[in-house]
């Protein structure tokens, strides 16, 4: 039996720099990165903008 794999953690600044270069969105929790399945930058921005304007988005 092998040794457990170590998990590297990132600082908030490291995550932000890394996330800016990624095509998909990720969550950052306690130094760990988690993929947000199905979340792409454009649809997430559209829905976020709709929420900020308090309007209903369809097919975003």
**Per residue of the chain (60 residues), what is the pLDDT tens digit?**
688 878 788 888 898 898 888 888 888 888 888 888 765 655 556 666 666 666 565 554
Note whether 31 and 8 are within 8 A (CB): no
Q: Specify the pTM.
A: 0.51
pLDDT at 55: 58
Query: Nearest to residue 44, comparing CAs of 19, 10, 8, 13?
Result: 19
Residue 60's pLDDT is 47
Cβ contacts of 46 within 8 Å, gap of 6 or more? 57, 60
């Amino acid at each position: 039996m092998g040794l457990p794999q170590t998990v590297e953690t990132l600082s908030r600044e490291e995550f932000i720099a890394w996330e800016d270069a990624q095509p998909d969105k990720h969550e950052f929790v306690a130094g760990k990165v988690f993929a947000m399945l199905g979340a792409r930058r454009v649809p997430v921005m559209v829905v976020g903008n709709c929420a900020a304007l308090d309007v209903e988005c369809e097919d975003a």
